[in-house]
């Protein structure tokens, strides 16, 4: 079971890093950022969103596939910190 959870987490981490979060990318475009500034903003935004969603997962005591699913949906729906 641990092996499956580990593989799911690795798969999630690799897909999370390869595609920019739509909410963060939208916010970057609204701020008219481009190039390195846009990349930096989106990375920071995604990191903040991931941390927030990780805490939410712990509060809900999620594990395994439920946590992976929750994290994916939460990070995609969480925009930049106000």
Mean pLDDT, to the nearest integer, of 61-70? Answer: 93
How many domains does the chain fold into?
Answer: 1
Question: pLDDT > 70: what percent of the chain?
Answer: 71
The answer to whether residue 69 sits within a structural domain is yes
Is residue 17 one of the residues assigned to a domain?
yes
DSSP state of 19: S
Cα(first)–Cα(last) distance of the chain, in Å? 38
**Domain span at 23:** 2-77
Mean pLDDT computed over 28-46: 93
In a domain, residue 50? The reply is yes
Which helix (DSSP H) or strand (DSSP E) does residue 8 occupy? helix 2-18
> For the CA atoms of the chain, what is the radius of gyration?
14
Q: Is the pLDDT of residue 31 over 80?
A: yes
Tokens encoding 5: 């959870």
Taking the C-alpha atoms of residue 6 and residue 3, their distance in angstroms, rounded to an integer, is 5
In a domain, 82, yes or no: no
* pLDDT band for position 75 (cuts 50, 70, 90): confident
């Amino acid at each position: 079971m641990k092996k499956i959870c580990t593989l799911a987490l690795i798969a999630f981490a690799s897909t999370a890093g390869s595609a920019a979060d739509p909410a963060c990318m939208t916010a970057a475009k609204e701020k008219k950022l481009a190039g390195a500034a846009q990349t930096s903003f989106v990375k920071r935004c995604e990191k903040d969103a991931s941390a927030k969603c990780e805490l939410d997962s712990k509060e809900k005591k999620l594990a395994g596939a439920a946590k992976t699913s929750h994290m994916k949906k939460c990070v995609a729906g969480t925009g930049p910190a106000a």
